[in-house]
Amino acid sequence: MSSLPSRRARRVLAAATAGALSLAVLAGCASSSSGETASSDGAATPLTLQTSWIPLVQFGGSYVADKEGYYEKNGVDVDILPGGPDVDSMAAVVSGQADIGMGNADTVARANEQGADLVIIAAGFQKNPLAILSSPDKPIATPADMVGMKIGVPSGDEAAQEALLAANDVDASKVTSVPVGFDVAPLVSGEVDGLWVFYSEQPIAYEEATGKAGTVFLTADYGLDIYAQVYAVTRESLEDDTKRAAIEGFLKGEIEGWQAYVADPTEAVELTVNDYAKDGGLTIEEQTKQAQLQMDLLVTDETKENGLLTMSADGIEKNVATLDTLGITGVDDSLFDTSVLDEVYDGSNTIK
């Protein structure tokens, strides 16, 4: 797990940073999107999906959709582009380098704040993966337990900590924030009592380092309601019949891939380790653990009722409220568009 720090470094809430997107990029003329027109001979329409990070089982449903032909069955030929520390998925969509970009609701909102016109059409992670990890010997199980504790806060998570404490009426002056990097060493050594982490990654590293499972709580369960691993497109693309049809085909295939993942993540893990990240030094054991932890982010009571990747009216309302709390301006429910999901599911909660 030695690569964990670099994986985590770009996962922080963009709302707390200076903004990843360049105004110059956002203001530039967008190039022609790869999914602009369908092939006249009936061939699958090409689309480009820009993921938000390096290849991991985090994107396992997409890998399954590609491998099993779910995209092709729904009329699209999807090129899955890996992300990384120097890749801005929202800028890629704005510039036309990608048709669909993956990110968090706050990164999309930040892009729009700087001049983009993006809309979120689906949400993979119903719960944001930001979490607080602590030792089982000195557990921090709720925000209230943070009082009197030293909390390791990586650069970029400061605003999230402030928002979490405020949302739970915790006096910030009674919590000591300690600047840290992006690995679990400060928690293992006892330098801090708790640590901001990515729910499906650092807890695994902590257990490997200590031989004990840490205590973890998701900040999403305590007021930080931000959809993660969302799918964003330009608003203009939804107004073009051909592009919209291709996006709908993509979303059908994508959901089928994630349905297969939820039923059994084994194939997604194997595809990640042996194909999409074959040179990434990943292991089946590590990615299997991550795949299982992600179930808590993907599957909720709402997705059981409405379907994977869906966005409820209540969830959207909570996201808008949290984004406002984080200081992102101009956010309302128009950031989210559920019309494609409505067409895809057509009254059902599964894609068959």
Chain segment 90-142, per-residue pLDDT in tens: 999 999 999 999 999 999 999 999 999 999 999 999 999 999 999 999 999 99
Chain segment 182-199, per-residue pLDDT in tens: 899 999 999 999 999 999
* Residue 118 falls inside a structural domain: yes
Same domain, 103 and 245: yes
* Residue 203 falls inside a structural domain: yes
Same domain, 192 and 65: no
* Residue 70 falls inside a structural domain: yes
Counting as low any pLDDT under 70, the low residues of the chain are 1-41
Same domain, 68 and 166: no
The residue written with tokens 């998570």 in the block is 157
* Residue 352 falls inside a structural domain: no
Closest CA to 164 of 218, 103, 125, 127: 218
pLDDT for position 182 = 82
Angstrom distance (rounded) from CA 56 to CA 304: 25
Domain housing 172: 130-222
pLDDT for position 155 = 87
CB-CB contact of 77 with 253 (8 Å): no
Same domain, 117 and 8: yes
pTM equals 0.88
* Residue 326 falls inside a structural domain: yes
* Residue 350 falls inside a structural domain: no
Same domain, 175 and 239: no
Residue that finishes a domain, picked among 179, 194, 222: 222
Same domain, 236 and 187: no
Same domain, 9 and 120: yes
Residue that finishes a domain, picked among 222, 241, 276: 222
Angstrom distance (rounded) from CA 322 to CA 87: 25
Residue that finishes a domain, picked among 207, 222, 237: 222
pLDDT for position 332 = 97
Count CA within 13 A, CB hemisphere, residue 199. 22
Same domain, 212 and 284: no
* Residue 309 falls inside a structural domain: yes
Same domain, 231 and 204: no
Same domain, 117 and 159: no
Same domain, 233 and 332: yes
pLDDT for position 159 = 87
pLDDT for position 41 = 56
- Please count the structural domains in the chain: 2
Q: For residue 120, give the CATH number of its domain.
A: 3.40.190.10
Same domain, 332 and 254: yes
